[in-house]
Structure 1
């Protein structure tokens, strides 16, 4: 059974309106992006890890936290093995997009925190759009 956060005791449902879901998704995503970026930059600049490895580990931390919060708070969905498997597939796709874009852009530009931040924002933005659309349209409609 997937891990869940006990954020409230209300019955989970998928009847949250689009505006509320979008606002919650952005709040959750912003917090998760801070974790992702923080770990990415720490590994890359403090420990000298390669771009792709740093971003991969940051992505894993950020998306794990985001999934746990989004499932319970943003989409108010019940735990589901089928949904959890669908999220893993989605995250594999967004992992490739996010880490691939970050590593590619980082290799094109000179090394520096500003360029790393720009590459992070572009990669994160692409992955965020894919995540929201697929989670809202497909994953959190799975019963």
Structure 2
């Protein structure tokens, strides 16, 4: 019997995949937050700024996750699955962000914390769905 760590798809592969996913997440989140804050600074409405930042961060994450974190070839089916997943996630993230902005006290850090809460929730959901559905190998 081959030990779990030696099998493809074992604990070691999962841990490496999680670490790569986290690194991609940091890059995607930096793109997302930077775009969001810049768009707000330039006067875009909250919803437009969040939509634009989500598209920029998601596009970055898709390319890096497909090529590096999950190491799979691109296909129309995978791209469609990714768009469906992230479209659904976008609605969830917008809901979490909206609720957070409504309930958090208004301080200089409120917008960033609301973004971080929504991003964290979306990231957890996305990893599970990307691994089990979109980038399943």
2-structure distance, mates of 1:122, 1:75? 25
Q: Among residues 51, 54, 66, which one is paired with 1:59 in the alignment?
A: 54
2-structure distance, mates of 1:112, 1:38? 19
How far apart are residue 111 of structure 1 and its match? 4.6
Asked if structure 2 preserves the Cα contact closer than 8 Å seen for 1:51 and 1:103, the reply is no
2-structure distance, mates of 1:19, 1:99? 29
Q: Output the TM-score relative to the length of structure 1.
A: 0.82
Q: Please give the residue correspondences for 1:1-143 in structure 2 after superposition, counting only pairs within 5 Å.
A: 17-44=13-40, 46-141=41-136
Aligned length: 128
Higher relative contact order (CA 8 A, sep 6+): 1
Q: Which runs of 5+ in 2 are unaligned?
A: 1-7
Residue by residue, what CA displacement relative to the aligned partner does 1:74-107 show, whole Å, maximum 9, x if unpaired? 0000111111111110011111111222133223
1-structure distance, mates of 2:120, 2:17? 17
Asked if structure 2 preserves the Cα contact closer than 8 Å seen for 1:52 and 1:103, the reply is no
How far apart are residue 112 of structure 1 and its match? 4.4
How far apart are residue 113 of structure 1 and its match? 3.7
For residues 53 and 113 of structure 1, do their structure 2 counterparts lie closer, same or farther at Cα, with a shift above 3 Å needed?
Answer: farther
Q: Which runs of 5+ in 1 are unaligned?
A: 1-13
Larger Rg: 2
Structure with greater helix share of residues: 2
